[in-house]
Amino acid sequence: MNFDNINVPQKLVPDNYWQLGLAAQRPKQRGFKELLEKRKLPANGWPDEHIEELVHQIASLDSNNFPHKVGLGEREARITCRLVSRRHYNFGHGIGRSGDLLEAQPKAAGSTLLAHLTNALILDLMQGLGLPSCRGCFLVPMCTGMTITLCLQSLRKQRPHAKYVLWSRIDQKSCFKAITAAGLEPMIVPCLVQHQALSTDINAFQQHIEDLGAETILCLYTTTSCFAPRNSDSIVDIAQLAKRCDLPHIVNNAYGLQISTISRQLERAQRLGRIDYFVQSSDKNFLVPVGGAIVASFNQTLLHLVGSSYAGRASGSQTLDVFMTLLSLGRSGYHSLVQKREDNFNYLKEQLIAFAQSHGEQVIESRENFISLAITLGTLCVATGQGSSITQLGSMLHMRGVSGVRVVIPGQKKTIDGHAFSDFGSHQTNLEIPYLTVAAALGITQEEIDKFFKIFHKCWTKFSQSLSENKTKQ
Amino acid sequence: MNFDNINVPQKLVPDNYWQLGLAAQRPKQRGFKELLEKRKLPANGWPDEHIEELVHQIASLDSNNFPHKVGLGEREARITCRLVSRRHYNFGHGIGRSGDLLEAQPKAAGSTLLAHLTNALILDLMQGLGLPSCRGCFLVPMCTGMTITLCLQSLRKQRPHAKYVLWSRIDQKSCFKAITAAGLEPMIVPCLVQHQALSTDINAFQQHIEDLGAETILCLYTTTSCFAPRNSDSIVDIAQLAKRCDLPHIVNNAYGLQISTISRQLERAQRLGRIDYFVQSSDKNFLVPVGGAIVASFNQTLLHLVGSSYAGRASGSQTLDVFMTLLSLGRSGYHSLVQKREDNFNYLKEQLIAFAQSHGEQVIESRENFISLAITLGTLCVATGQGSSITQLGSMLHMRGVSGVRVVIPGQKKTIDGHAFSDFGSHQTNLEIPYLTVAAALGITQEEIDKFFKIFHKCWTKFSQSLSENKTKQ
Amino acid sequence: MNFDNINVPQKLVPDNYWQLGLAAQRPKQRGFKELLEKRKLPANGWPDEHIEELVHQIASLDSNNFPHKVGLGEREARITCRLVSRRHYNFGHGIGRSGDLLEAQPKAAGSTLLAHLTNALILDLMQGLGLPSCRGCFLVPMCTGMTITLCLQSLRKQRPHAKYVLWSRIDQKSCFKAITAAGLEPMIVPCLVQHQALSTDINAFQQHIEDLGAETILCLYTTTSCFAPRNSDSIVDIAQLAKRCDLPHIVNNAYGLQISTISRQLERAQRLGRIDYFVQSSDKNFLVPVGGAIVASFNQTLLHLVGSSYAGRASGSQTLDVFMTLLSLGRSGYHSLVQKREDNFNYLKEQLIAFAQSHGEQVIESRENFISLAITLGTLCVATGQGSSITQLGSMLHMRGVSGVRVVIPGQKKTIDGHAFSDFGSHQTNLEIPYLTVAAALGITQEEIDKFFKIFHKCWTKFSQSLSENKTKQ
Amino acid sequence: MNFDNINVPQKLVPDNYWQLGLAAQRPKQRGFKELLEKRKLPANGWPDEHIEELVHQIASLDSNNFPHKVGLGEREARITCRLVSRRHYNFGHGIGRSGDLLEAQPKAAGSTLLAHLTNALILDLMQGLGLPSCRGCFLVPMCTGMTITLCLQSLRKQRPHAKYVLWSRIDQKSCFKAITAAGLEPMIVPCLVQHQALSTDINAFQQHIEDLGAETILCLYTTTSCFAPRNSDSIVDIAQLAKRCDLPHIVNNAYGLQISTISRQLERAQRLGRIDYFVQSSDKNFLVPVGGAIVASFNQTLLHLVGSSYAGRASGSQTLDVFMTLLSLGRSGYHSLVQKREDNFNYLKEQLIAFAQSHGEQVIESRENFISLAITLGTLCVATGQGSSITQLGSMLHMRGVSGVRVVIPGQKKTIDGHAFSDFGSHQTNLEIPYLTVAAALGITQEEIDKFFKIFHKCWTKFSQSLSENKTKQ
Residue pLDDT, tens place only, A176-191: 999 999 999 999 999 9
Question: Nearest-CA distance from D279 to chain A in Å?
Answer: 31
Residues of C in contact with B19 (CB under 8 A): none
**Number of inter-chain CB pairs under 8 A, B vs C:** 7
A467: pLDDT confidence band, cut at 50, 70 and 90?
confident
Nearest residue to B209 via CA among B176, B166, B152, B270:
B166
B405-418: pLDDT as tens digits? 999 999 999 999 99
Which residues, at least 6 apart from C364, have a Cβ–Cβ distance to it below 8 Å? C195, C196, C197, C228, C229, C373, C374, C375, C376, C435
C162-174: pLDDT as tens digits? 999 999 999 999 9
Residues of C in contact with D112 (CB under 8 A): none
User: For residue B68, how many other CB atoms are within 10 A of its CB?
Assistant: 10
Domain-located, residue D362: yes
Question: Nearest-CA distance from A314 to chain C in Å?
Answer: 17
Q: Is the pLDDT of residue C5 over 90?
A: no
A469: pLDDT confidence band, cut at 50, 70 and 90?
confident
* Contact in structure between A137 and B300 (CB atoms under 8 Å): no
Binding residues of B for pyridoxal 5'-phosphate: 75
Binding residues of D: 75, 97-98, 105, 271, 313, 400
Least CB–CB distance from C84: residue in D325, D406, D442: D325
**Number of inter-chain CB pairs under 8 A, A vs C:** 159
Among chain D residues, CA nearest to C46: D81
**Subunits with at least 3 CB pairs below 8 A relative to chain C?**
A, B, D
B474: pLDDT confidence band, cut at 50, 70 and 90?
low
**CA-angle at A337, arms to A334 and A338, nearest 5°:** 90
Query: What is the per-residue pLDDT for B345?
Result: 98
Domain-located, residue D296: no
* Contact in structure between D231 and D369 (CB atoms under 8 Å): yes
Task: Give CA–CA dist A77/A60, Å, rounded.
Answer: 13
Question: Nearest-CA distance from D474 to chain C in Å?
Answer: 34
Question: Nearest-CA distance from A9 to chain B in Å?
Answer: 34
Task: Give CA–CA dist A268/B419, Å, rounded.
Answer: 39
Question: Nearest-CA distance from B304 to chain A in Å?
Answer: 14
D152-190: pLDDT as tens digits? 999 999 999 999 999 999 999 999 999 999 999 999 999
Domain-located, residue B438: yes
Any idea what the CATH number is for the domain that residue A408 is in?
A: 3.90.1150.10
Question: Nearest-CA distance from A126 to chain D in Å?
Answer: 31
SS3 C63: helix
Over range B157-181, report the average pLDDT: 95
Question: Nearest-CA distance from C446 to chain D in Å?
Answer: 10
**Subunits with at least 3 CB pairs below 8 A relative to chain A?**
B, C, D
Q: Is the pLDDT of residue B117 over 80?
A: yes
Strand locations in B153-308 (E): 164-168, 185-189, 192-194, 197-199, 217-223, 249-252, 277-281, 293-297
- A21–C49: do the CB atoms touch at under 8 Å? no
Nearest residue to D101 via CA among C145, A230, C237:
C145
Domain-located, residue B461: yes
Question: Mutate which of C18, C86, C399, C402 to disrupt the B interface (most B C-beta within 10 Å)?
Answer: C399
D386: pLDDT confidence band, cut at 50, 70 and 90?
low
Among chain A residues, CA nearest to B402: A70
Domain-located, residue D251: no
Q: Is the pLDDT of residue D387 over 60?
A: no
Over range D320-346, report the average pLDDT: 98
- B371–A74: do the CB atoms touch at under 8 Å? yes
Q: What mean pLDDT value characterizes chain B?
A: 95
Residues of C in contact with D316 (CB under 8 A): 289-291
D218-256: pLDDT as tens digits? 999 999 999 999 999 999 999 999 999 999 999 999 999
Among chain A residues, CA nearest to C19: A109
Residue C61 has phi, psi (to 5 degrees) of: -85, -5
Task: Give CA–CA dist C409/C171, Å, rounded.
Answer: 13
Query: What is the per-residue pLDDT for A267?
Result: 98
Domain-located, residue D233: no
Task: Give CA–CA dist B473/A221, Å, rounded.
Answer: 65
**Number of inter-chain CB pairs under 8 A, B vs D:** 160
Question: Nearest-CA distance from A88 to chain C in Å?
Answer: 12
Query: What is the per-residue pLDDT for C2?
Result: 81
Among chain C residues, CA nearest to B17: C399
Binding residues of A for substrate: 97-98, 105, 313
Query: What is the per-residue pLDDT for C470?
Result: 73
Over range D416-437, report the average pLDDT: 93
Least CB–CB distance from A83: residue in B82, B174, B324: B324
**CA-angle at A60, arms to A55 and A66, nearest 5°:** 165
C257-269: pLDDT as tens digits? 999 999 999 999 9
SS3 A169: coil
- C37–A6: do the CB atoms touch at under 8 Å? yes
Question: Mutate which of A17, A18, A20, A25 to disrupt the D interface (most D C-beta within 10 Å)?
Answer: A20
B216: pLDDT confidence band, cut at 50, 70 and 90?
very high
Over range A400-418, report the average pLDDT: 93
Domain-located, residue A376: yes
Give the predicted TM-score (pTM) of the model: 0.96
* Contact in structure between A39 and A121 (CB atoms under 8 Å): yes
3-state SS, chain D, equals CCCCCCCCCCCCCCHHHHHHHHHCCHHHHHHHHHHHHHCCCCCCCCCHHHHHHHHHHHHCCEHHHCCCCEECCCCCCCCCCHHHHHHCCCCCCCECECCECCCCCCCEHHHHHHHHHHHHHHHHHHHHCCCCCCCEEEEECCCHHHHHHHHHHHHHHHCCCCCEEEEECCCCHHHHHHHHHCCCEEEEECCEEECCEEECCHHHHHHHHHHHCHHHEEEEEEECCCCCCECCCCHHHHHHHHHHHCCCEEEECCCCCCCHHHHHHHHHHHHHCCCCEEEEEHHHHHCCCCCCEEEEECCHHHHHHHHCCCCCCECCHHHHHHHHHHHHHHHHHHHHHHHHHHHHHHHHHHHHHHHHHHCCCCECCCCCCCCEEEEECHHHHHHHCCHHHHHHHHHHHHHCCEECCEEECCCCCEEECCEEECCCCCCCCCCCCCEEEEECCCCCCHHHHHHHHHHHHHHHHHHHHHHHHHHHHC
- The interaxial angle of helices D144-158 and C173-181, nearest 10 deg, is 90
Residues of D in contact with A24 (CB under 8 A): 401
Among chain A residues, CA nearest to C115: A12
Range with the poorest average pLDDT among B1-15, B179-193, C423-437, D436-450: B1-15
Least CB–CB distance from D33: residue in B5, B33, B113: B5
Query: What is the per-residue pLDDT for A387?
Result: 55
Range with the poorest average pLDDT among A307-316, C320-329, D374-383: D374-383
Query: What is the per-residue pLDDT for A385?
Result: 62
SS3 C314: strand
Over range D429-433, report the average pLDDT: 91
Task: Give CA–CA dist D142/C95, Å, rounded.
Answer: 12
Buried residues in D87-105 as b, exposed as e (16+ CB within 10 A)? bbbbbbbbbbbbbbbbbbb
Query: What is the per-residue pLDDT for D388?
Result: 61
Least CB–CB distance from D12: residue in B11, B36, B63: B36
Residue % of chain A over a pLDDT of 90: 91
Task: Give CA–CA dist B52/D55, Å, rounded.
Answer: 13
- D2–B7: do the CB atoms touch at under 8 Å? no
Query: What is the per-residue pLDDT for C364?
Result: 96
Residues of B in contact with D25 (CB under 8 A): 60-61
Nearest residue to B398 via CA among A62, C8, A69, A113:
A69
- A13–C116: do the CB atoms touch at under 8 Å? yes
How many Å from the N-terminal Cα to the C-terminal Cα in chain C? 79
Over range D269-280, report the average pLDDT: 98
Q: What is the ipTM of this complex?
A: 0.96
Count: domains in chain C: 1
Peptide bond into A289 cis (omega under 30): no
* Residue B349 burial (10 A CB sphere; 0-12, 13-18, 19+): middle
Domain-located, residue B168: no
Host domain of residue A341: 334-472
Among chain B residues, CA nearest to D61: B21
Question: Mutate which of B82, B83, B399 to disrupt the C interface (most C C-beta within 10 Å)?
Answer: B399
Binding residues of A for tRNA: 271, 400
Over range D116-144, report the average pLDDT: 97
Least CB–CB distance from C113: residue in A12, A33, A106: A12
C383: pLDDT confidence band, cut at 50, 70 and 90?
low
Query: What is the per-residue pLDDT for B381?
Result: 76
Residues of B in contact with D57 (CB under 8 A): 1-3
Residues of A in contact with C108 (CB under 8 A): 17
Over range B186-203, report the average pLDDT: 96
Over range A383-412, report the average pLDDT: 87
- B105–D63: do the CB atoms touch at under 8 Å? no
- D36–B62: do the CB atoms touch at under 8 Å? no
B53-87: pLDDT as tens digits? 999 999 999 999 998 899 999 999 999 999 999 99
C282: pLDDT confidence band, cut at 50, 70 and 90?
very high
* Contact in structure between D419 and D186 (CB atoms under 8 Å): yes
Distances (CA, A) of A227 to A190, A223, C1: 15, 11, 46
Q: Is the pLDDT of residue C387 over 60?
A: no
Element at B434 (helix H, strand E): none
Question: Nearest-CA distance from A114 to chain B in Å?
Answer: 15
Which residues, at least 6 apart from C348, have a Cβ–Cβ distance to it below 8 Å? C373, C438, C440, C444, C449
Task: Give CA–CA dist B341/A280, Å, rounded.
Answer: 43
